[in-house]
Amino acid sequence: MSRWAYAFRLSKSEVALSEPPGTLRLYDLGDLHSAHPEDNIHLNPQPSSSPADPLNWPAWRKYAILAIMSLYAAVTNFNAAVVGPALPIMQYEVQPVQPFAKLNYLVAVNVLLIGTSNLIWVPVANTVGRRPVLIFAMLATTAFSVWCGVARSFGSLLAARALQGFSTGPADAIAPNVLGEVFFVHERGRAMAIYSVFLAGGGFVGGVSGSYIANHLGYKYIFWLSTVLIGFVSMLEILLVPETSFSRGRGNQAQNPSVQHPRPPIEDDKPSTQAIEVHQNSEMSSGDFTYLSSLKVGLVGDYRDSIWQHALRPWLSLAFPGTWIVMLHYGGLLGGLITISTIGPQFLAAPPYLWREHVGLLSLGGLVGCLLGSVATFFTADRLLSRWAKRTGRGLAEPESRLPAMFFALLLATTGIWTFGFSAADPSQRGWVGMIVGYGMLGFGITQVPSIGFNYVCSNQSPWKTARC
């Protein structure tokens, strides 16, 4: 409480000169007066001299990891959402016949365990490494998807869906951590924008296709398709994604005060290590980190904390107001998304619409909004960070500089939920238009809000290392 009182007693000039947790130097003072200050961006965090350091990996490997983590997020959300529009058909095919309200458990329980499972997955990944957890989780999801396909009773199917949801949790929590460990701070906004569009887009694609697959092939083919998709992603993870947890040591930043990069490596075709100037005695050898060595399953580095310490840290992060803000923002929008994706097809299958197998077309609105939201985030997130650093006159950037991009998306998404609700509550021949437009507004927000919010939480709390962002 004393720290809060101290913060509110600061004068305006003292606030301007302060450097709260998460503040980083993006430019040198001299660079601010150059024609292109972005050409001399400081690399944050400071890379080590090791070729195993993810920050030193070539651009192609970073892009491959971004693509695989994004595809992983898309497939897991496809698996979660594809059942929703198929429920009107499954109501007559699942044995024994269940009331529609109980069939909704197939979606609700799955999504619930996707979120809560990360209370286990994240501490384990912080203890044993990202790669073994991701491989195990993906293979488990593949097995549980097969179980969904062969289940002969509602109870068996519900159990399989629950375990499928539990095993897909790392796509929501560990995959963003992997991207945060591979990209520098000034690149993460664009990387997270790409990840977020796949995260949200996978659910919308599942919403569009689920009813068609169930109607023409049978609902079991939904789960066989899920099996193929997650199995493919599992192979990519095993073959192309090395361990990204890496301990650079506390003295690394002090030893490398002048690390710079001529331009952001996310737009570079050359390995990012070519532009890194390090002042250490050891030299990097590209032969030290071969493809075979990258396939090692296990933790890279020296982490002495126990799994119990890692399990406690997410709860301790609740002491930060920013955690609550982002959690409530994303949780509220995600709740609206799940509600619409589940009950929307029911409205469109009933009079006066009677869309039958076309009920999944509701998700087209969400998909369009998702694409627009990703474009807006891609071009604004990192630009706001850079603009803030230039405007301060000291070359410093703070995590809060990205937050303005989230406000419009949050307002738009909230209004979209209302639009859908009012349109669904008053059925008419053109009522579906309001439902689709409202879903699209929510799709825009559900893409941009978590992209900006997750970046803010990771950057703001990384000095405290609550979640090893």
pLDDT tens-place string over residues 361-372: 999 999 999 999
Q: Grade residue 103 by pLDDT with cuts at 50, 70 and 90.
A: very high
CB-CB contact of 244 with 45 (8 Å): no
Comparing 214 with 276, the larger pLDDT belongs to 214
Q: CA 297, CA 242: separation in Å to the nearest integer?
A: 8
Assign 3-state DSSP to the chain and report helix, strand, coil percentages, each to 5.
70, 0, 25
Comparing 82 with 28, the larger pLDDT belongs to 82
Whether omega for the bond prior to residue 352 falls within 30 degrees of 0, making it cis, is yes
Residue 208 has pLDDT above 70, yes or no: yes
Mean pLDDT of 328-354: 90
Residue 237: the pLDDT is: 96
Comparing 318 with 231, the larger pLDDT belongs to 231
Q: What is the mean pLDDT of the chain?
A: 81
Q: CA 271, CA 461: separation in Å to the nearest integer?
A: 29
Comparing 34 with 174, the larger pLDDT belongs to 174
**Element containing residue 152 per DSSP (H, E):** none
The tens digit of pLDDT for each residue in 37-69 reads 555 666 777 888 888 899 999 999 999 999 999
Label residue 247 exposed, middle or buried (CB < 10 Å: 0-12, 13-18, 19+): middle
- Tell me the torsion sign for CA atoms 72, 443, 214, 154: positive
The tens digit of pLDDT for each residue in 161-175 reads 999 999 999 999 999
Amino acid at 460: N
Residue 230 has pLDDT above 80, yes or no: yes
Q: Taking Cα atoms as reference points, which of 38, 13, 16 lies closest to residue 28?
A: 38
Domain boundaries, the chain: 58-247+306-461
- 98-112, 179-193, 199-213, 285-299: the lowest-pLDDT one: 285-299
CB-CB contact of 169 with 118 (8 Å): yes
- Please state, for a pLDDT cut of 90, what percent of the chain lies above it: 46
Helices 362-392 and 431-461 pack at an angle, to 10 degrees, of 40
Retrieve residue 286's tokens.
Answer: 């590209």
Q: Grade residue 432 by pLDDT with cuts at 50, 70 and 90.
A: very high
Q: Grade residue 391 by pLDDT with cuts at 50, 70 and 90.
A: low
The third-level CATH classification (topology) of the domain covering 58-247+306-461 is: Growth Hormone; Chain: A; (1.20.1250)
CB-CB contact of 413 with 336 (8 Å): yes
DSSP, residue by residue, 225-273? HHHHHHHHHHHHHHHH---------TTHHHH-TT-EESS-GGG-SS-GG
Retrieve residue 221's tokens.
Answer: 């083919």
Residue 25: the pLDDT is: 63
Residue 28: the pLDDT is: 59
Residue 409 has pLDDT above 70, yes or no: yes
Residue 280: the pLDDT is: 40
Residue 402 has pLDDT above 80, yes or no: no
Residue 283 has pLDDT above 50, yes or no: no
Q: CA 271, CA 91: separation in Å to the nearest integer?
A: 54
CB-CB contact of 380 with 401 (8 Å): no
Q: Taking Cα atoms as reference points, which of 429, 402, 142, 449 lies closest to residue 134?
A: 142
Helical H runs in 33-117? Answer: 59-81, 87-93, 100-103, 105-116
User: What 3-state DSSP class applies to 372?
Assistant: helix
CB-CB contact of 240 with 234 (8 Å): no
Retrieve residue 238's tokens.
Answer: 């095993």
Q: Grade residue 151 by pLDDT with cuts at 50, 70 and 90.
A: very high
Residue 273 has pLDDT above 80, yes or no: no
What are the angstrom distances between the C-alpha of 388 and each of 73, 89, 302?
Answer: 31, 52, 35
